[in-house]
Structure 1
């Protein structure tokens, strides 16, 4: 009987819907799970049967609720947040170190010049001369400590970059493998929702590491390229990223795909990799160059001024500092000098003269050219470097806060389409249960009618 056939198709459709609802409820806490729903379609009557209302219902498809536009928003937000968050710890550490009174070069310079001012009251005092040498040594230690902090940060950036490249290669390989599985399963008309969810999760993790552009292909696969256009994943083939250290200590990132190798522009990759590259290129390395130049200018000008004067024995003043940027012990060292060898006098015959000492004190107000700052005085250079770092850090912090909000909004937008709503699923559960029970009732009525017909015969 047609009633039984229609009701059987209804119970099968209701059962498929209940199975889908149960799958959604089971995965309500699964990260990245996209809810599913049945698409029902009426079956038209058979040809030549004008008195038939139809042939029941069919499950046309199991629909996965996913919006490609919202996915792209989610991944772009992940890239922006990753780029800004990668540099945040380095900014914080450098601000704390450079602003700390125990390591500040401004404080060290102030103490050094305070000792010079003190000795001007009694140029022949050995204790006061010893204090100048002591403060000069302390200033050199501050410079070397700061330089070691920069070196530690550079090593940390290099290690984090290497780890990031390893993660990118792993995720790219996983996405390529999932592309192959999805293309194979989709051709056999099997539900690929689980594989699609897993691929989207992998892309989201990858987007946080490097900014990617995602394009869907007819076979169900997704192609991924970098912001600058280089291929990262094409079908079941993934690129391999690597790095090599250059003579200046920087690292060059390369991408190998098929038989081609590309050199990536370090400031145009986005994500955590781009954030590390930007911090190194725009903040860390310029800061290293600026402090190195400041230390060299200080050593050269102080040594030059001392050499223009005379020590207690009437000899030309000996150098106070030794600058060597490549030294393993520190780029600024205290020279082997006795307090009596400090050339404070402007007259070889007058040991108590302080003419050259006054000229030495005036060195702090001389103009020097510092990379990134231009022409500044020795006394102001470090404070300007610290101020510029503070501005860059605050800009990074404010941008990161905005990126966090954008990411949260993107996640909320994604959830409005794809996440499981318990209340909605509870309603669906009741509705499809009623549908199943109603169709079973139709079958029962059809059986009663069939039995009555047999009884009449």
Structure 2
């Protein structure tokens, strides 16, 4: 080998060692950076004329695409399940557990006890007032539960709007990165950093809507939701959604009073079973707004209806005519079976027994329609009201099956159903969290190994020192020749 050839080999070796040290340093410094793909320097032998040496072919980004896709789907599933569990926990808190003194079942129990106490001393005004106050507390508990459900639906609607905007921005960014990667790749540049950035954005999209990547030419990718919607293929899809300022019990997607989701102007399904965007954070918000929230409102309304109908029966209170409002009213009037939606938000005690509304508490003893006080020692109506509260009755609506329930047992059945659903969802959440943790750990293990990188860095340093020694030796040889 000539001196020129040796010098050329050593110079190319130095350049390769220096570039290798940069790549390894980048790996170590970004070991915990989300979306970062481990780099490897690709080298090959070079042969130009009589010269050899080392040729730098480029940088290879090492990523297990299958593992990354599985982790992304697991992340979306975990987020979806967590939101569902949080919603059910909120509804359970609104209704309260039986051991909670402010729970709906506890309020009904207090009301029952107040009727019994009042019947034992129907002449005691404070006991009649206590019964009226207990009835008011039951109505307010139902109002609060209904308000809480609609607040959750309203918040879900607002979150959908924010997430759709975020999703549109992310898809546009990915499309732009696709173009940049193609342009830089054609020029022979290193696209690894752009691929890392694109991966981070894809991971965020995957949280909102579970997606799968499809490779395209020149380093580009396409994105499809697991529900089959095309989110990105060449150009980014445009998602549309119109938010509502306030969601009420009357507003539903099926009734066309709430906005649906559109992709490129075409309406798509958003249900949890077959929706085009099912499985992620965005789908979880649609589920709260259009499915879980509606179902919870329906059950609470069924309980409120049952309570109203128990006390507006003329057989219970003989002072009532058919169609008159009883102890519990629909916003002050009698209940209309054709207007059940939102009844739990409108239920209130009859103004005739409420001193705050100009009524008198003695009417809970003598009758809602009584014009004057009767026998102060007559407890028959109070006893009839107590019986109406505890008599088994088949609910006229709601998903309670065909069994007969007292008012308290119906409320207990509702809270029990919510608790069971929450417990089941939390079990799913535990599983999805464990699966996500395992896949994340596997992905990290498949990523940058700091110990391995340091070992590679030591080898690079040795190669650098060896090539530097060759250059030093060539320099000594040339100096010797020059002195001859």
CA distance in 1, matches of 2:166, 2:116: 57
1:8 corresponds, among 4, 8, 11, to 11
CA distance in 1, matches of 2:183, 2:468: 38
Following TM superposition, by how much is the alpha carbon of 1:92 offset from its aligned partner in structure 2, in angstroms? Answer: 3.0
Find the residue that maps to 2:40 and give its secondary structure: strand
Following TM superposition, by how much is the alpha carbon of 1:319 offset from its aligned partner in structure 2, in angstroms? Answer: 2.4
2:435 corresponds, among 398, 402, 406, to 406
Partner of 1:394: 423
Unaligned runs of 5+ in 2: 332-339, 353-359
Change (3 A) 1:221 1:121: same
Following TM superposition, by how much is the alpha carbon of 1:403 offset from its aligned partner in structure 2, in angstroms? Answer: 1.9
Following TM superposition, by how much is the alpha carbon of 1:366 offset from its aligned partner in structure 2, in angstroms? Answer: 2.6
CA distance in 1, matches of 2:74, 2:342: 44
Answer yes or no: is the 8 Å Cα contact 2:143–2:345 preserved in 1.
Answer: yes
Partner of 1:333: 348
Question: Structure 1 length as normaliser, TM-score?
Answer: 0.85
1:78 corresponds, among 75, 78, 98, to 75
CA distance in 1, matches of 2:57, 2:326: 89
Partner of 1:263: 268
CA distance in 2, matches of 1:55, 1:89: 66
Cα root mean square deviation, aligned: 3.2
Find the residue that maps to 1:367 and give its secondary structure: coil
Q: Pick which of 183-192 and 283-292 moved more.
A: 283-292
Following TM superposition, by how much is the alpha carbon of 1:357 offset from its aligned partner in structure 2, in angstroms? Answer: 4.8
Partner of 2:40: 37
CA displacement 1:72-118 (0-9 Å, x = unmatched): 02211111111122234333333223225354221222222222223
Answer yes or no: is the 8 Å Cα contact 2:30–2:36 preserved in 1.
Answer: yes
**Alignment length (residue pairs):** 440
Partner of 2:385: 360
Partner of 2:212: 213
Unaligned runs of 5+ in 1: 47-51
Following TM superposition, by how much is the alpha carbon of 1:200 offset from its aligned partner in structure 2, in angstroms? Answer: 0.6
1:62 aligns with 2:59: yes
Change (3 A) 1:328 1:373: closer
1:155 aligns with 2:154: yes
Answer yes or no: is the 8 Å Cα contact 2:76–2:279 preserved in 1.
Answer: yes
CA distance in 2, matches of 1:417, 1:30: 14
Partner of 1:114: 113
Find the residue that maps to 1:59 and give its secondary structure: strand
Find the residue that maps to 2:35 and give its secondary structure: coil
Partner of 1:49: none
Answer yes or no: is the 8 Å Cα contact 2:365–2:378 preserved in 1.
Answer: no
Partner of 1:303: 312
Give the alignment of 1:308-457 within 5 angstroms.
308-310=317-319, 319-324=326-331, 330-337=345-352, 338-342=360-364, 357-363=382-388, 364-369=390-395, 370-375=397-402, 376-377=404-405, 378-419=407-448, 421-448=449-476
Find the residue that maps to 2:312 and give its secondary structure: helix
Q: Pick which of 33-42 and 317-326 moved more.
A: 317-326
Change (3 A) 1:227 1:241: farther
Following TM superposition, by how much is the alpha carbon of 1:56 offset from its aligned partner in structure 2, in angstroms? Answer: 2.3
CA distance in 1, matches of 2:325, 2:117: 20
CA distance in 2, matches of 1:124, 1:141: 27
Change (3 A) 1:253 1:178: farther
Give the alignment of 1:89-128 within 5 angstroms.
89-99=86-96, 101-123=100-122, 126-128=125-127
CA distance in 1, matches of 2:93, 2:430: 20
Answer yes or no: is the 8 Å Cα contact 1:307–1:318 preserved in 2.
Answer: no
Partner of 2:357: none
Answer yes or no: is the 8 Å Cα contact 2:39–2:61 preserved in 1.
Answer: yes
Change (3 A) 1:24 1:329: closer
Question: Structure 2 length as normaliser, TM-score?
Answer: 0.81
Find the residue that maps to 2:165 and give its secondary structure: helix
Find the residue that maps to 2:219 and give its secondary structure: coil
CA distance in 1, matches of 2:189, 2:313: 82
Q: Pick which of 168-177 and 200-209 moved more.
A: 168-177
Give the alignment of 1:124-143 within 5 angstroms.
126-143=125-142
Find the residue that maps to 1:120 and give its secondary structure: helix
Change (3 A) 1:305 1:102: farther
Partner of 2:30: 27
Change (3 A) 1:307 1:423: closer
Give the alignment of 1:167-246 within 5 angstroms.
167-243=166-242
Following TM superposition, by how much is the alpha carbon of 1:45 offset from its aligned partner in structure 2, in angstroms? Answer: 8.0
Partner of 1:292: 301
Following TM superposition, by how much is the alpha carbon of 1:331 offset from its aligned partner in structure 2, in angstroms? Answer: 0.8
